[in-house]
């Protein structure tokens, strides 16, 4: 499994030859201006919730690639009504896809579309393939994360760390304890003024707890191991 970071909360997960694009928000992100959305591959587009900073480029990419949109019921129906392909899920539910198993997990946040339309309840994803990863989405720290630690053996936890709208560094460290994973991929930071972080300080705080915090450059790829 390989993961490429496209800035903010946008990731591409490559499992064998399947490409899963998560929360595409690139054309509106000044820091990702070197990424061309027309160059991105997507067999699936996973959406954690309906906020603009997670869905901005969904339509353009889904139109070009024919990707299947995977999200909560309300978000998937929204896109199906626009003519896109989708697979609806809801909290606690799992589905076996061709690339692996996916569970839609709880998140504490909100989920309205940019026009105010209801976007269901926000979530995260646990993907079990050659490696097992947790994509938290925008969320507060919540005791529900302990269930993930009890049910899965995670290789990587992708957690928001930018604070203000989501967990900050301290809560993300506690979240990594709850999900029982010491390898953390930080996202949802530095895109806007509200979520700027001190990166060396954040890494040091995780290191002090014997945890690793990966903070990738936009466009950088890592192999999960
Ligand atoms: Ni949000
Ligand atoms: Mn967000």
With cut-offs at 50, 70 and 90, classify the pLDDT of residue 186: very high
Domain count, the chain: 1
- Give the pLDDT score at 197: 98
Please report which ligand is nearest the Cα atom of 194.
2
CATH number of the CATH domain containing 169: 3.60.15.10
pLDDT digits (tens, 9 = 90+) for 55-72: 999 999 999 999 999 999
Q: How far away, in angstroms, is 172 Cα from ligand 1 center?
A: 16
> What's the domain range around 201?
2-223
C-beta of residue 205 within 8 angstroms of C-beta of residue 170: yes
pLDDT digits (tens, 9 = 90+) for 151-178: 999 999 999 999 999 999 999 999 999 9
Q: How far away, in angstroms, is 48 Cα from ligand 1 center?
A: 9
The closest of 137, 143, 177 to 159, measured between CA atoms, is 137
If DSSP codes are grouped into helix, strand and coil, which group holds residue 126? strand
The closest of 109, 69, 113, 60 to 88, measured between CA atoms, is 69
pLDDT digits (tens, 9 = 90+) for 106-138: 999 999 999 999 999 999 999 999 999 999 999
Q: How far away, in angstroms, is 50 Cα from ligand 2 center?
A: 9
- Give the pLDDT score at 23: 99
Burial profile 21-57: b = 16 or more Cβ within 10 angstroms, e = fewer? bbbbbbeebeebeebebeebebbbbbbbbbbebbbbb
């Amino acid at each position: 499994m390989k993961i490429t970071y496209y800035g903010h909360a946008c990731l591409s997960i490559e499992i064998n030859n399947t490409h899963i694009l998560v929360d595409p928000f690139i054309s509106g992100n000044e820091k990702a201006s070197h990424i061309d959305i027309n160059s991105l591959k997507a067999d699936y587009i996973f959406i954690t919730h309906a906020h603009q900073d997670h869905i901005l480029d969904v339509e353009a990419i889904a139109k070009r690639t024919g990707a299947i949109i995977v999200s909560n019921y309300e978000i998937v129906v929204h896109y199906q009504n626009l003519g896109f392909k989708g697979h609806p899920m809801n909290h606690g539910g799992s589905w076996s896809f061709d690339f692996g198993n996916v569970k839609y997990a709880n998140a504490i946040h909100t989920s309205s579309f940019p026009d105010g339309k209801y976007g269901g309840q926000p979530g995260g994803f646990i993907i079990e393939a050659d490696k097992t990863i947790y994509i938290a989405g925008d969320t507060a720290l919540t005791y529900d994360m302990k269930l993930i630690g009890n049910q899965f053996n995670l290789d990587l936890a992708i957690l928001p760390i930018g604070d203000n709208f989501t967990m900050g560094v301290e809560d993300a460290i506690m979240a990594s304890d709850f999900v029982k994973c010491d390898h953390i991929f930080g996202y949802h930071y530095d895109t806007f003024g509200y979520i700027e972080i001190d990166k060396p300080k954040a890494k040091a705080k995780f290191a002090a707890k014997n945890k690793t915090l990966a903070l990738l450059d936009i466009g950088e790829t890592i192999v999960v191991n």
